Structure 1
Amino acid sequence: MLKIRFGSKRSAVLATVALTLLGGSAHAMTLQEAVQLTVSTNPEIGEARASRLAIDHELTQARGLYLPQIDLRAEVGPEYTDSPTVRSRGDFNGDTAWPRWNLSIVLQQRIFDGFEADSEVERQAARVDAAAYRVLERSEFVGLDVIQAYLDVMRNMELVNLARENVNVHRSTLSEVQRLVNAGEASVADSQQAEARLRNAEETLISFEHDLEEGRITYQTIVGQPPGQLTMPAPVIASVPLDLDSAVQTALGGNPLISIALADLDVSQAELREAESVFYPSLTLEGTASHGFNIAGQQGDESRANLLLVARYNLYRGGIDSANRQEQIAHIGERQERLDRIRREVEELVRTSWNTMESITRRIPVLEQEVVAGEQVRQSYREQFVLGARTLIDVLDSENELFNSRVALSSAQFAQIFSRYRVIAATGNLMNTLNIRVPDEAAAVARENAGGVHQAHVSEVPLGNDYFR
């Protein structure tokens, strides 16, 4: 009768996993630390931060429209003059050319520009806030990538150790079978079957090791350094909304993608007001002071100064202004539709994330029972095999089924952790949940500091008779 000594190594593999996760590297990093490091150094977030800073300077340029414009002008060169004044002097015979120079300073200050400067400041402020929300959105997005990479490395480490245990079990089985074959107590077919199962277990181990290395590469690409000691993150179930409806409402009010779309809509509304500024008259304060020599044929020094209020009102520009206004109205409609689309996409993301989380949560108890049942089946098959009631193939099959169940349970447990983070990220609360300090560029306060963007209603703005402009 074929007798094989089996020994459970579940406790040994758990100890190995713990040592691998907690003591296999010189540097330990928690999930929160990994996310914080990435948010501070990741180039994708850095690109969004640089874009925000660039638009900050565009806002500064827009505020410059409120300030006076001062120009200094210098002229030098010959000047030919033929005028009644020159001809009346007689001595120049109505034809004179003299070297001249002139130095002048010109000041222009907007008094009223049809709210063009206000609209431009509001437009740039909305663009700044949109860029700020983009920094936050990238932080949330990349932060979720870090979490996935972090958990994938931990999961693959555990799967590798499960696969190593599986290889050791099959190697021990093959060794025992070969001993019995040599003793004439087992057939060569039994040895061949045990060896085939061992090779299959080794191939699975190689595949899992490949996945682990791929996971490490992904982690290093996102975080910027290889994974060190990884620790199981603290539970975040308390940060998950109580129900799906609450999650949807939280996302519609806090997801940065929606905030970006709202800011873009404010940009379009400000662009409409800026386009309408040309339908108002403008009033400018203009001052000039100059000093020159031989100006306009008058020999000698000359000084002038004036301070004028200048009003301008365009009467006709070939319909350009009217067409521009209609263009901006169309852009408002376009961005409103984009906002509606993004709201639907965010709601879909929340619902699918929630469904995944619920599905995995329901699967885990089933998988846990499957593992317990698999352990019982394996033990029963071993005992029955000793009594001759089961074949070696039955025993090997039970071992393989138990291994697959353990792999499925481990994968589901890590997937459950990630699914909770994914729901939190969909609502826009990932950084807050992890207590991550986001970049300063993520602060969206430009519109508030600019006095707030008017909420334009296109239907309230009459066309008037601007078709001619």
Structure 2
Amino acid sequence: MVSIFRKTAVAAALSTALSLLPYAVSAETIYGAMEKAYQNNPDLNAVRAGLRATDEGVPIAKAGYRPRISATATGTLTRLESEQGPLAGGGTATEDFHTGSAGITITQQIFDGFQTLNNVRAAEANVFSSRESLKANEISILLAAAQSYANIARDQRIVTIRKKNLAFLKEQLNAANARLDVGEGTRTDVSQAQAELASAQALLVTAVAQVKQSEAVYVQIVGFAPKGIKQPSPASKALPKSLDQAVAKGLREHPTIAAAQYNVDAAGYGVKSAEGSMLPGVVVQGALTRNTGNSPGSGGLDGNTASITARLEIPLYQGGAEYGQIRQAKERLGQQRILVDSARAEVQQTIVTAHAQLEAALANISANKSQVNAANMALAGVIEERKVGQRTTLDVLDAQQSVLVAEENLVTSQRNAVVASYSLLASMGRLTIKSQGLQVAEYRAEEHYEAVKDKWFGLRTVDGR
């Protein structure tokens, strides 16, 4: 017979399992999960903050176009002590003199070998690259939300299946005990039923623990506890008609490739900026100074000084650092070009893999449904044969195990089809809030960029911090 300890464990597991079953009220959909993740995921919000910081690189680079203004003020106090002769009465005479100046200097770079121009263009390319990287992160988070939703749906259904299995095995144990009491069964039959029941109890507890783990991942990604999770269907919006179409669209639209191409642009401008250090530079500086004082020779008069200076600087040799910087920039440009090829290869490989997984999952669903039907028919037949003495309790238990495995395989293959379909969209760069019709406000990165790209001054961020 089942021990008291085992009965208590089963009751606790069943109670927890019941609390994890889907609710009809406030049911969450897979689209709702993606919407919440798009709004609340902290990793995604951190990437958005990083993009806003990257936006500031443009006004920083544009500072090379703008004048630099500085003000200076100096003051000097001089005390002169002199000894007087006998005719002047002797003693020491003290006299204070002071001088002071205040001025303002304006420096304007007229030409710097196009370094500022290329630095601005590189900063703009970095912004565009970061935007594409943000899109890639958004796709990754939406996929993670869909996957975590499908995982919970799978795990909750497995809990339900294992509950049914546990109830069936309890009936078999009761039947084995009843047959033993009337002399038609054996102690072995009872022991076999007890062993299978204990194993089913452990399986149920494991399934409940797995649901809790999947829910924890869901909360981490989505930001809210799951409610009323239902079995989702594979993605249908924006799916390609063929593998070739998927690869073509992925290579054309995936943000990772676009980000790599913008990085090539930024590196190219970096080369031009480095080469600009070899060109002449022209600077104009204007200064206005107010002088005051009563020092000897100043006549005790205040005066103003104004000057304008133009400076032409032609670099001839700067220790060789300029040559190393140019070579370094060219190597980085070559690296970024290689990374574009790497990004294309990775996207293509991911698309092919996701497409193959989707095809396999859909095929497995059909096969597993047939397996479930056949296993249930076999179980019913074995039970009937046992009634006339042609089968044993062990045969019934083995047949029930086949049913359990078939049903769990079906649930797993259905989950795999959902995840593979959304993975295919993600690998193509098409898992977006627009393509899936998500009811959530789109984050518009260009709004922050437009607000800061031409700012001359100001300490506060666009949102007032």
TM range (shorter): 0.7 to 0.9
- 2:93 aligns with none
- 2:374 aligns with 373
Confirm or deny that 1:250 pairs with 2:249: yes
**Aligned amino acid, residue 36 of structure 2:** L
Please state how far the C-alpha of 1:238 moved relative to its aligned partner. Answer: 4.1
Name stretches of at least 5 consecutive residues in structure 1 with no aligned partner: 1-15, 81-96, 451-469
CA contact (8 A) 1:129 1:445 kept: no
Aligned positions, number: 417
CA contact (8 A) 2:118 2:270 kept: yes
Deviates most, 165-174 or 242-251: 242-251
Please state how far the C-alpha of 1:99 moved relative to its aligned partner. Answer: 2.9
- 1:433 aligns with 435
Q: Structure 2: how far apart are the matches of 1:297 and 1:167?
A: 109
Deviations 1:167-198 (A, max 9, x none): 00010111122122112222111111111121
Confirm or deny that 1:151 pairs with 2:153: no
- 2:6 aligns with none
Confirm or deny that 1:124 pairs with 2:127: no
Please state how far the C-alpha of 1:422 moved relative to its aligned partner. Answer: 0.4
- 1:45 aligns with 44
Distance 1:442 1:291, change over 3 A: closer
Please state how far the C-alpha of 1:438 moved relative to its aligned partner. Answer: 7.0
2:23 alignment partner, SS class: helix
- 1:339 aligns with 340
Q: Structure 2: how far apart are the matches of 1:385 and 1:417?
A: 40
Please state how far the C-alpha of 1:279 moved relative to its aligned partner. Answer: 2.2
After superposing on structure 2, the runs of 4+ consecutive aligned residues of structure 1 that deviate more than 6 Å are 16-19, 444-447
Please state how far the C-alpha of 1:165 moved relative to its aligned partner. Answer: 0.2
2:389 alignment partner, SS class: coil
RMSD: 2.8
CA contact (8 A) 2:237 2:436 kept: no
Q: Structure 1: how far apart are the matches of 2:334 and 2:67?
A: 36
Deviations 1:22-76 (A, max 9, x none): 33xx643222222222222222112111111112222222222222222212122
Please state how far the C-alpha of 1:404 moved relative to its aligned partner. Answer: 0.7
Confirm or deny that 1:281 pairs with 2:283: no
Deviates most, 121-130 or 287-296: 287-296
Q: Structure 2: how far apart are the matches of 1:303 and 1:366?
A: 95
- 1:241 aligns with 240
Name stretches of at least 5 consecutive residues in structure 2 with no aligned partner: 1-16, 80-95, 454-465
Distance 1:129 1:445, change over 3 A: farther
2:318 alignment partner, SS class: coil
- 1:137 aligns with 136
Deviations 1:203-257 (A, max 9, x none): 2111111111111111112222221112344552342111112211222222222
- 1:199 aligns with 198
- 1:313 aligns with 314
Deviations 1:390-448 (A, max 9, x none): 2222222111101110110111011101100001011111123323457636559969x
Deviations 1:107-153 (A, max 9, x none): 12232222111111112112222222222222211221111111111
**Aligned amino acid, residue 301 of structure 1:** D
Please state how far the C-alpha of 1:260 moved relative to its aligned partner. Answer: 2.3
**Aligned amino acid, residue 277 of structure 1:** G
Give the share of equivalent positions with the same residue, in percent: 23
Q: Structure 2: how far apart are the matches of 1:375 and 1:159?
A: 17
1:289 alignment partner, SS class: strand
Please state how far the C-alpha of 1:159 moved relative to its aligned partner. Answer: 0.5
Q: Map of 1:89-128 to 2, 5 A cutoff?
A: 99-128=98-127
2:319 alignment partner, SS class: coil
Q: Structure 2: how far apart are the matches of 1:232 and 1:174?
A: 32
Deviates most, 126-135 or 288-297: 288-297
- 1:170 aligns with 169
CA contact (8 A) 1:114 1:280 kept: yes
**Aligned amino acid, residue 29 of structure 1:** E
CA contact (8 A) 1:129 1:446 kept: no
Q: Structure 2: how far apart are the matches of 1:257 and 1:17?
A: 43
**Aligned amino acid, residue 356 of structure 1:** Q
